[in-house]
Amino acid sequence: MREEVGTREAWPFECLHCLLVWEEEYVVHRTRDEQGVDVVVWIRGDVAVEPPWSGTTCPGCGCGTVTTFPTGYLAHHPEITLGRPALDAPAGETPARRAPFASHALLTLALLLLTGAGLYERLHVR
């Protein structure tokens, strides 16, 4: 395999659980092997790692539900601050505490509507 020059890429991430936003820098080596197959090696902290979209966990809460932004996204969105939740929460409340309640409430409402529709249909048909 022939070595080519690596490029530095900064990848912004957001945790979908606690909404923490952070950025990690990678050195990316792109090359071709003897058979002409493209090979990409991702390096972070002098160690070969998985690509950013594979297996990243949140440094804040340890959750594995993480999304990436396009490279350069944060530069065009100054309202997003690294190391802080992407959404503002009222004093003393974190978005992580608010989000599960909202999703549970919506799920409960949907289940009640489906159950009610089924009961109505059974009683109304007879």
Higher pLDDT, 98 or 42: 42
> Band of the pLDDT at 27, cuts 50, 70, 90?
very high
Q: Do residues 113 and 51 make contact, with C-beta atoms less than 8 angstroms apart?
A: no
pLDDT score recorded for residue 103: 59
pTM of the predicted model, to two decimals? 0.56
Name the band, by pLDDT with cuts 50, 70 and 90, for residue 112. confident
What is the distance between the alpha carbons of residues 80 and 31, in angstroms, rounded to a whole number? 34
Mean pLDDT of 26-48: 90
